[in-house]
Amino acid sequence: MAKEKPVKKAGRKAKTIMLGNFLKGSYSLFAAGIVFTFLISFMDTLNPQIVSAVVDGVIGDGAENVPMVVEKIIQLFGGYQNLKANMIFTAVMVISVAFISAISYFANRYFITNASETLMKNMRDRIFSHIQRLPYSWHMKNRTGDIIQRCTSDADNIRNFITEQLISLFRIIVMLVLSIYYMYSMNLTLAIISTSFIPLILIYCIAFRSKVGKRFREADEAESELSTMIQENLTGVRVVRAFGREREERDKFITFNNKFAGMWMKLNKLFTFFWSSTDGIGYLQNVVVVTVGTLLCIRGNISSGNLIAFISYNVMLIGPIRQLGRMLAELSKADVSLDRIQEIMSAEEEKDKPNAVELDKIGDICFNHVSYGYDERTVLDDMSFTIKEGQTIGILGGTGSGKTTIISLLGRLYDLAPGCGNITINGGTDICDVKASWLRKNIGIVMQEPYLFSSTLGGNISISSDNPSEDDIKNAARIASLEETIEQFKDKYETFVGERGVTLSGGQKQRVAIARAVLAGTQVIVFDDALSAVDTQTDAKIRKELAVHFSNATVILVSHRITTLMNADNIIVLDKGKIVEQGTHDELVEKDGLYNTIYKIQKSGSEVD
């Protein structure tokens, strides 16, 4: 498997705008959650002050440096003398603060959880809707597994960072500000000693973030490769089983999985070192604060209650500072995910011209000096031909001659570059001036390898029409010579076909696709080798039914079989991107050209059979 292309790092402004769009609809929920986050932090920092006031004012000789809010709470319970006489009130006071904190925590989780799910839903909706509007060429250049991984794992990384880490930042800020304020108001010496460790931890956290950022990106890309490999393997399970490649595919999976696991093991080693070292710094800070604080308390420079409160604030201080390190590491991970999603969201959507129109009909189709290629490889070379309205045209050519490219250009799956000719419909209107949705709605295409969804037979047939009746579905199945096959199934039209129609044969899948096209009732119907997996007898039967059903429609037949094309009004023979012959079957057989050569080979082959 080819290595995934490296993801370009998006600009900060572009990512901020994208994130702002994702957050629409959840701003108020996040705001409510932040309000209760502030309240939780305030209550957490208030409790040590209450304990300090009780220890010094109730148990000791008198409280010092008591904040006004704590004084008011104590006065609410009758003052220090009343608390001494009724110690139960002290417990009630502490429990009341804890109860308010618990209610705030419940409200915080309620709003944040709802905001988180709203954000995730909005992200999925916007990303998926954007992908649906991206041009076909973009999908051809990007692996399905990689796209899925970005829409799921990367989106989840962003959600987790915002709802867990970023919201925690507000709590950390409040706790840091209040803790430092209370600490400096209680004892300047101890406060300086405690806060002197903060710059050291912050510098260490920033250095850690720069070290893990690149490894996060490598791990994410390795996960993308693993997801792509799994998706391709499961999609191609029939090929894997048919060629007995289970062992090779398992070994390939183990290789990718080992690579991915190895990268995360290296990251975990970094995390282990980071957390253990910051724990060591935190323990050292606590030892210094407790030792110096005890000496100051013995000397009478700080009261017992204030020392207890100070130690509590010191623990509160070092915890959030250490959490900032984790937050910076998660920021690296989220930043990588933002880059990967931004690469999708910045891809230019398929857009019609501002003055694009819808026509009354397709009419005549004209290819005028059309040239097209892929990656500097020319596929169509100065090709010109006309398909009259209501005409049946056949296209014959070898592999790589440009047959499928003609169909893709007609449906505007690819757009012609300036100076490479044009394709017109309905009397000279360039298809680039027509709305793509209208054009595709009126051109039905049945591919050689049709895609069936994980649904029922009836569901796969009816997908091309809005609310078709049961009779319409059955009539489409009859025209595609599928009705007898369906009747043999136990659940008939409710038979589940599995992912990509895995439970059906190639011919059955092609006939489902034909029935789908019949039900669509388009003005132009294209069969791109759509009968290649069907036996010749069924082929003839389907062509007869199609000739009646599409008697007024323009039909384009792309096939390797002369028998499929021989009744067409005009047959175009391609070779290396050029039209080498053109005419009816009888006219082309009389010529000593490529068509006649293929006809003789197929005719002799059928005689041998």
Helices in 55-143 by DSSP H: which ranges? 68-76, 79-85, 88-132, 136-141
pLDDT digits (tens, 9 = 90+) for 9-28: 557 788 888 888 888 888 88
- Tell me, what's the pLDDT at 235? 65
Taking CA atoms, 118 is separated from 109, 121, 125, 572, in Å, by: 14, 5, 10, 55
Query: Exposed/middle/buried for 336, CB within 10 Å: 0-12, 13-18, 19+?
Result: buried
Q: How does strand 365-374 pair with strand 422-425?
A: antiparallel
Query: Exposed/middle/buried for 157, CB within 10 Å: 0-12, 13-18, 19+?
Result: buried
CA 37 centroid distance within chain: 31
Taking CA atoms, 160 is separated from 116, 117, 501, 549, in Å, by: 8, 10, 37, 55
**CA 175 to CA 574: how far, in whole Å?**
75
| Distinct helix (H) and strand (E) counts, the chain | 24, 10
**CA 3 to CA 34: how far, in whole Å?**
42
pLDDT digits (tens, 9 = 90+) for 387-400: 888 888 888 887 77
3-state secondary structure (DSSP) of residue 413: coil
pLDDT category of residue 64 using cuts at 50, 70 and 90: low
CB 372 within 8 A of CB 380: yes
Max mean pLDDT range (208-212, 384-388, 497-501): 384-388
Tokens of 386: 């006309």
pLDDT category of residue 57 using cuts at 50, 70 and 90: low
pLDDT digits (tens, 9 = 90+) for 517-534: 788 777 888 888 776 666
Strand partners, 496: 456
Which domains does the chain carry?
A: 12-345 (1.20.1560.10), 359-442+569-609 (3.40.50.300)
Does residue 60 carry a pLDDT above 60? no
At how many degrees (to 10) do helices 68-76 and 27-54 cross? 70
Q: Is the pTM above the cut of 0.85?
A: no
**CA 326 to CA 209: how far, in whole Å?**
9
- Tell me, what's the pLDDT at 528? 80
Q: How are strands ordered across the β-sheet holding 392-397?
A: 443-446, 524-528, 554-558, 392-397, 570-575, 578-583
Tokens 């994130």 belong to residue: 19
Phi first, then psi, for residue 179 (nearest 5°) are -65, -45
